[in-house]
Structure 1
Amino acid sequence: MPPPRAPGTETSNDPSLLPIRILTVCTGNICRSPVAERLLQAGLDQVKPGAFRVRSAGTRAMVGDPVQPLSAGIISTYGGTPEGFAARQLTPAILRDADLVLTMAARHRGEVLQLDPSLLKRTFTIREFARMLEVLEERDGGRDGDPSPAADLAALWRGLPARAASVRHLALAPDAADNDVVDPYRRGEDAYRQMEDELSPAILTILRFARVHS
């Protein structure tokens, strides 16, 4: 009999047994994407513990740095945990491990696709993705007409990027800047408040969708 695996090292060929893997991306991985990572993780853990794994990375990461203090304060305010975070550089290997990539700005989406063009229909700015979820909800309740409350959560979320991409034309922003979350790095408290104002509604929309369809 083979020895048991250490906890956390289990593998499976069945995608439904694996957590849904979400990656958030910004530039330095110390201001915006950590806020999205930690708040999405905290909220999704309340929906279904263990069903989601949210991580983040930066296109020009300040590798090893903790979350910036003002971002850490935002995370704590909304019930997340900023401790234990270390910035990391975005790589093709990290991207291959993601079911859904949520970037903080359109240029980050472009950089993701330069690293892995196959992620075209799995990569969105986070504000754009939230608008797409709202369109899906208005159109068909978010389930393509499936009335069953027992619809498989993993299948729903792994199919969600393609469904979101299919309604991109219905979720266009009035201004392209409305797809982006401002970069507050070295810009003071007002910029961090603007970041919070732009980012938090998108996070709340994603978490609301998750709760309704859990």
Structure 2
Amino acid sequence: MESPKPVRILTVCTGNICRSPVAERLLQAGLDQVLPGGFEVRSAGTRAMVGYPIQPLSADIVNMYGGTDKGFAARQLTPKILRDTDIVLTMTSKHRGEVLQLDASLLKRTFTIREFARMLEALEERDAGASAAGDPAGAGSGPAAEPASGASNGKAPDAGTLWRGLPARLAAVRHLALAADSADNEVVDPYKRSPEVYRQMEDELAPAILTILRYARLNTPT
């Protein structure tokens, strides 16, 4: 039997050497633990420093959280890369706009990474509330209770079906996950800046990554 097609996630920043590689490598490491071979996480830059490795301080963050910076080379974001992507996670709202300039069809599948994490939390809260209320139409907090995303035979969806259907489900809770401040959607660019700015990047990015990985652990069929 042919292996299921992995869920393809793309992280995007500017140079593709500081922020998006951290997100790429840590999401890949965490998702590999959830479902080996089930996810393919890559990154690209809107003005990439093509061929460059991850910046040393970003590499330190990746390694500290259990990922690897080995074998990385920055690449330029292109329409071809986007065509092969299921979910796009950008580091800023500006990057999201640049993605959509290249491929407007990705409107409902492109998020800032911090926005995406908040929406996952809102979705879990909504589903938990529906489950507690005994709502038979509620999506539930687990994959077996997601009829909208599952197969027509009523079986629980596989990982690909669940994750590719996730953007449509998140649209229903977007209003519940609006940022109190627009800055709450952004991850600071630390390139050529002090170690303190790299720590700020980590403080903004790491919680979103951990939220995504927690959602994956709790909801992805294995």
TM-score (norm 1): 0.90
1:89 aligns with 2:85: no
- Deviation string 1:19-45 (CA, Å, 9 cap, x unpaired) is 000000000000000000000000000
Root-mean-square deviation (CA, aligned residues, Å) is: 1.8
Unaligned ranges ≥5, structure 2: 132-137, 146-155
Partner of 2:219: 213
Matching residue of 1:64: 51
Answer yes or no: is the 8 Å Cα contact 2:143–2:219 preserved in 1: no
Letter in 2 for 1:78: Y
CA distance in 1, matches of 2:171, 2:21: 24
CA distance in 2, matches of 1:165, 1:90: 25
Determine the structure 1 residue equivalent to 2:31.
44
Aligned counterpart for 1:174 among listed residues 180, 195, 205: 180
User: Contact 2:13–2:92 at 8 Å: present in 1 too?
Assistant: yes
CA deviation after TM superposition for structure 1 residue 147, in Å: 6.5
Residue 18 (1) aligns with residue 5 (2): yes
Which amino acid is the alignment partner of residue 90 of structure 1? L
1:151 to partner: Cα distance: 3.5
The gaps in structure 1 that reach 5 residues or longer are 1-11
Per the TM alignment, residue 154 of structure 1 is displaced from its structure 2 partner at its CA by 1.1
> After the TM superposition, which parts of structure 1 deviate over 2 Å for at least 4 consecutive aligned residues?
145-151
Measured in 1, the distance between the counterparts of 2:159 and 2:143 equals 14
- Tell me how far 1:148 sits from its aligned partner: 2.2
Question: Equivalences for 1:159-198 in 2 at 5 Å?
Answer: 159-198=165-204
Alpha-carbon separation, structure 2, partners of 1:26 and 1:40: 15
* Matched residue, 2:139: 144
Instruction: Give the structure 2 partner of residue 9 of structure 1.
Output: none
State which of 122, 127, 132 in structure 1 corresponds to 2:114: 127
Q: CA deviation at 1:131?
A: 0.1
**What secondary structure, in the 3-state scheme, does the structure 1 residue paired with 2:199 have?**
helix
SS in 2 for 1:17: coil
Aligned match of 2:159: 153
Corresponding residue for residue 19 of structure 2:
32
The count of residues paired between Structure 1 and Structure 2 equals 201
Tell me the SS of whatever aligns to 2:15.
coil
